């Protein structure tokens, strides 16, 4: 006599398999984001209609200032025009999200004071969201450089920034949630973060990420000192035996260890180069004592102009990064190009990260690197 339960097992497996297939069709893996920082701090955005929004998911408008404890449009006349023109780009990409990015290197001096108290945090959050409401934008990005540690000369920072950084996001999320109830829309909250351990040690990323949609790692500017050691400034991996050498991979691993989920991590790509003059022509200038800075420039300029001026391109297999070397002038330039962008996009896909962001759109007006992102991500 047959066992009814045993007979039913294949049907149960088939049903479970069908349910799993249906669930996978209903919940596809989110596509990686492509976030462009677009600068409005210079005034009017140059030729906004030329922005290839079909290849972007988000534009972070840089920057909004912090003044008198408030999110502040220092250049309101041009900012207002820029918001209107950027919003008009949604006719070409209805899914495009436009966020205000508050702070940046030059406008982070007042964050610490603004979010020091609960009342201050509520005011800052309220005024940030007021800008979103008024200009029909899609969210807030915070670029505080940096909580708890020095940034630009004169920036205010204090030990309490570590906790207040988290509480600031809590207040912002609450204000954005209120706006969602008011309008029925969905509003994003993201942040740009420094790529070093120092940033992690002075924040509570495991707590802060609970309020955030994305954590944009500024995985560039690893080398900036014109009188320091030359080297890669936006390398995917380390180029030396030093386990503490800064790299994109190391930054990502540190933020994961600090409690940020992979799917919220967004990798930074540099659309510009950094250069040094060096005292020695050994190793083609890589990891050598610098005697001063040299112009790097945006990628369109690097690609189109520098080879004709005597610069030779080389590839660091270990770092997965290119560099230029001028043997006569002993100038070393670190940058991202199409090959390194391809490697970074493959890394994002392999590790199921949130996506990529880049600074800054106008540095590559011919779109060489955005095309590489679009092709490989």
Omega cis (within 30) before 180: no
Q: Which two tokens stand for residue 341?
A: 């962008």
CA dist 262 to 53, 66, 198, 200, Å? 25, 30, 20, 16
3-state secondary structure 168-214: HHHHHHHHHHHHHHHHCCCCEEEEEEECCHHHHHCCCHHHHHHHCCE
Sign of the dihedral through C-alpha 315, 321, 326, 331: negative
| Cross-strand pairs, 182 | none
Residues annotated as catalytic are 145
Euclidean distance between CA atoms 179 and 170, whole angstroms: 14
| Cross-strand pairs, 267 | 217, 356
């Amino acid at each position: 006599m047959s066992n009814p339960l045993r007979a039913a097992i294949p049907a149960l497996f088939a049903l479970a398999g069908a349910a799993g297939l249906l669930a996978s069709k209903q919940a596809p893996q989110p596509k990686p984001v492509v976030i462009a920082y677009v600068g409005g701090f210079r005034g009017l955005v140059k030729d906004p209609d030329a922005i290839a929004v079909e290849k972007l998911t988000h534009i972070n408008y840089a920057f909004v200032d912090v003044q008198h404890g408030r999110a502040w449009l220092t250049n309101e006349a041009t900012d207002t025009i820029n918001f209107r023109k950027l919003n008009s780009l949604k006719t070409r990409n209805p899914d495009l999200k436009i966020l205000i990015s508050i702070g940046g290197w030059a406008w982070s001096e007042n964050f610490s004071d603004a979010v020091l108290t609960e009342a201050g945090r509520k005011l800052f959050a309220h005024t940030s969201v007021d800008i979103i409401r008024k200009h029909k934008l899609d969210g807030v990005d915070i670029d505080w450089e940096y909580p708890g540690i020095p940034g630009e000369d004169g920036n205010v920072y204090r030990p309490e920034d570590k906790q207040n950084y988290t509480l600031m996001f809590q207040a912002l999320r609450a204000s954005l949630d209120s706006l969602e109830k008011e309008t029925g829309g969905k509003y994003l909250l993201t942040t740009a973060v420094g790529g070093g351990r120092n940033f992690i040690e002075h924040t509570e990323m495991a707590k802060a990420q609970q309020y955030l949609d994305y954590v944009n790692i500024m995985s560039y500017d690893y080398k900036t000192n014109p009188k320091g050691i030359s080297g890669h400034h936006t390398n995917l991996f380390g180029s030396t035996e030093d386990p503490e050498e800064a790299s994109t991979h190391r930054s990502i691993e540190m933020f994961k260890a600090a409690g940020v989920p992979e799917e919220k991590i967004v990798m930074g790509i540099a659309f510009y180069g950094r250069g040094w003059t060096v005292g020695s022509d050994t190793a083609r200038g890589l990891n050598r004592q610098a005697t001063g800075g040299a112009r790097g420039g945006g990628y369109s300029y690097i690609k189109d102009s520098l080879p004709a001026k005597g610069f030779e391109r080389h590839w660091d297999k270990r770092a997965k990064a290119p560099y230029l070397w001028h043997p006569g002038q002993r100038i070393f330039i670190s940058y991202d190009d199409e090959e390194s962008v391809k490697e970074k996009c493959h890394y994002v896909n392999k590790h199921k990260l949130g996506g990529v962001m880049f600074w800054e759109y106008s540095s590559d007006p011919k779109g060489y690197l955005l095309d590489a992102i679009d092709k490989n991500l």
